[in-house]
Amino acid sequence: MPQKTLLKISNIDTFYGGIQALWDVSLEVKSKEIVALIGANGSGKSTLLDVISGLISPAKGSIEFEGKSITKLNPYQVVGRGISHVPEGRRVFPELSVLDNLILGSYNRTARSRKEQNLTIVYELFPILEERRNQLAKTLSGGEQQMLALGRGLMSNPKLMLLDEMSLGLAPIVINNVYKALRKIRERGITILLVEQNVRRSLDEADRAYIMEAGRVVLSGDVADLRKEKEVKKAYFGV
């Protein structure tokens, strides 16, 4: 049985002031996939996540989620539809406790009634957060803060998670733990669209990938096929 298309982006143009940041971008994410967005800094990857989550309005094109348009929705409405955005840099609330940070993720209408169930799921994935639930977020290590950011994203009861540079600045052993949690999140039926600087790792973990350059999608496909592409091998693997 073919996978259902969960997210469909069609011909998106986006501007920052008078400067065009995205050019005719189209992509699809199917249910329960991990899809990676790959490209150099400034290629438009994070901008595309901001457009999907409603933080930036596209000048042209459309975004559909579960077959319905979300192109003109506000961010809180996008979250209510089932899309969670974990931004680059974690952005936890440093002066709030771990538990309060998590609970702040559960205030959309669909997540409120599942707060306790989702909190249990987060603690199963990240036991250290339960141990440190009463600590201030600013006292956590970088890896623990990233786990907290992921946990807060899960508290909104998402069907799709947008993850922006979640391994940035983390030690290799911590990255392994975060990706292990990512696989468990997918096993729970949650779809993932991942922006990642670590190209080798993202191609190991993802099902499919889109490669962006200067605001355009220039290549896409299954990760096994992309690894064989000469342009990818030269640009990202030095061969």
Q: How does strand 191-195 pair with strand 160-164?
A: parallel
Mean pLDDT of 207-230: 88
Residues 6+ apart with CB under 8 A from 203: 36, 38, 209, 223, 226, 227
Looking at residue 230, its pLDDT comes to 64
Q: How far is residue 43's CA from residue 195's CA, in Å, rounded to a whole number?
A: 11
Structure-model confidence comparison of residues 88 and 180, the more confident one: 180
- Going by C-alpha positions, the residue among 159, 123, 55 that lies closest to residue 115 is 123
Tokens of 214: 């200067």
Distance of CA 149 to the CA centre of its chain: 11
Residue 182: which domain range? Answer: 5-236
Contact at 8 Å (CB) between 195 and 53?
Answer: no
Q: How does strand 60-65 pair with strand 160-164?
A: unpaired
Residue 87 pLDDT > 50: yes
Tens of pLDDT, residue by residue over 23-69, are 999 999 999 999 999 988 888 999 999 999 999 999 999 999 999 99
- Which of the 8 DSSP states describes residue 167? T
Looking at residue 136, its pLDDT comes to 96
Mean pLDDT of 12-30: 93
What does pLDDT average to over the chain?
89
Mean pLDDT of 94-110: 90
Q: How far is residue 219's CA from residue 102's CA, in Å, rounded to a whole number?
A: 37
Residue 1 pLDDT > 90: no
Mean pLDDT of 143-159: 92
How many Cβ atoms are within 10 Å of 94's Cβ, its own excluded?
Answer: 13
Amino acid at 14: T
Task: For tokens 């603690």, name the residue.
Answer: 123
Mean pLDDT of 143-151: 91
Residue 238 pLDDT > 60: no
Looking at residue 234, its pLDDT comes to 64
Of 1-10, 12-21, 128-137, 187-196, the range with the lowest mean pLDDT is 1-10
Residues forming beta bridges with residue 160, ordered by sequence position: 83, 191
| Number of domains the chain contains | 1
Domain harbouring 29, CATH code = 3.40.50.300
**Three-state SS letters, 91-128:** CCCCCCEHHHHHHHCCCCHHHHCCHHHHHHHHHHHCHH
Tens of pLDDT, residue by residue over 153-172, are 999 999 999 999 887 777 88
Confidence of residue 178 (pLDDT cuts 50, 70, 90): confident
Looking at residue 239, its pLDDT comes to 46
**Residues of the chain above pLDDT 90, percent:** 63
Residue 71 pLDDT > 90: yes
Q: How far is residue 165's CA from residue 3's CA, in Å, rounded to a whole number?
A: 26
Q: Identify the three-state secondary structure at position 135.
A: coil
**Residues of the chain above pLDDT 70, percent:** 94
Contact at 8 Å (CB) between 48 and 5?
Answer: no
Mean pLDDT of 92-113: 89
